[in-house]
Every structure is written in structure tokens, then in C-alpha cells.
A and B are shown apart, each in its own frame.
Chain A
Amino acid sequence: GAVVSQHPSRVICKSGTSVKIECRSLDFQATTMFWYRQFPKQSLMLMATSNEGSKATYEQGVEKDKFLINHASLTLSTLTVTSAHPEDSSFYICSASLPNTEAFFGQGTRLTVV
């Protein structure tokens, strides 16, 4: 199956700093990637749809100025958590898929803001 690589897998940052998470599709071109957030023992909450060459589409309640998404190429999307605070600590996962097919997930990034 297709491979999606996410980096870093873990990051600890100080409150007020920004953190960038990368998501790469390694063997197919993904015009669309998705970013999810998952709290412990809970479901995957879709944050935004990352569209190559255009602005991301954010789900209701997700602050676009807080969670900056850039999809500069067909194989790379980045999520930047700006001015991180402890409540931003979570597991962030990206995925990529072709229309109406299964999702391939990155390994996830566990963010801890101290």
C-alpha cells in the first residue's frame, strides 16, 4: 500500500513557540491531504483539508491562524502550530488518499507543550 511519512514523531516545545509537522506521500501524488487531531483514547477529529496549490479548508471550530497549513507540492503538506500552549498538546496525524479510496496515515506526531 501507499506510504505516508510524518515527521517528527514526537516533539516537546515551550509554550509560545511554534512547531512544524511535515507529512509526505512517498509513492503517490496527493493533491489533497488531511490533518487530524486525536486526544487520548478518543476518535480522530478532522482539523483541515490541505489542498495543493491553494488554501486549506478548515473544519468548523479550528483556528486557521493557529494551525497554519501549507501544501506546496503534490507530496508535502505541513502543519504549523503557532504560539503553542499546553492545551495544544495532542496527537496530530496526517493522511492522504485518492478520491473515494482508503486513507493512508502518517505515523503521527505527539506534541507536548510545556
Chain B
Amino acid sequence: GQQVMQIPQYQHVQEGEDFTTYCNSSTTLSNIQWYKQRPGGHPVFLIQLVKSGEVKKQKRLTFQFGEAKKNSSLHITATQTTDVGTYFCGVNRDDKIIFGKGTRLHILP
């Protein structure tokens, strides 16, 4: 079935540094979604990308969808302690959403 690979699994950054997580699929995706899960919390939807080459921004977060619609990235500029958590990408498959393994972001003060 459709799998989505997400890297890295963990990332430690100094506060103020940038952070990027990547998701890759072997098949063309209809769309891709990004979620954030704070420690002890539940995943919360951030954004959905649909168009080839699409770039969307939410304050310090930049989301990109590859031209071939097989990969996506989430980039955080100048991380803050509030960015701590696990970031998941999710793809639709047969009316389900399949999630990547997630990237756990830890911020060093």
C-alpha cells in the first residue's frame, strides 16, 4: 500500500535555529497534510497542500509540495520553545489518512 517516509525521526535545534522535516512518497499524491502534536496532546491539523509546487506560509512555518507531488516539506524559521512537538505528514489513501512516522522536534534553550 501507499507509504510515506518522513525524515528525520528526531531533531534537536538551538532556539532560534531553523528546522525542516521532509515527507516522501513513491507514488503521486492527491494532497498532503501536516499536523502537529504537542507532548501529551493530540495531533492538530496545520495545513493541506493540493497543487503541484504549492508553497504556503503560516507565520514562521513554510510548507511546500513538490512539483511531482511526491514529496513535501515543512520548514520552521527561527524556532521557538512553543514549536516543540512532533510533526506528522498525512496522505489520503482509500478515504483514510496514513501518517508518516513523524519528526520529533526538541528545542535547546
Contact = CB atoms under 8 A, between A and B. Distances in A.
B42 A103 contact: no
A108 B100 CA distance: 19
Contact of A100 (B31, B35, B88): B31
Contacts of B42: 93, 105-108
12 contacts: A42-B101, A43-B88, A43-B101, A46-B96, A49-B96, A95-B43, A95-B97, A103-B33, A103-B35, A104-B45, A105-B44, A107-B42
Interface of A: 1, 32, 34, 41-44, 46, 49, 93, 95, 97, 99-108
Interface of B: 30-31, 33, 35, 41-45, 48, 88, 90, 92, 95-102, 104
Contacts of B48: 101-102
A40 to B, nearest CB: 11
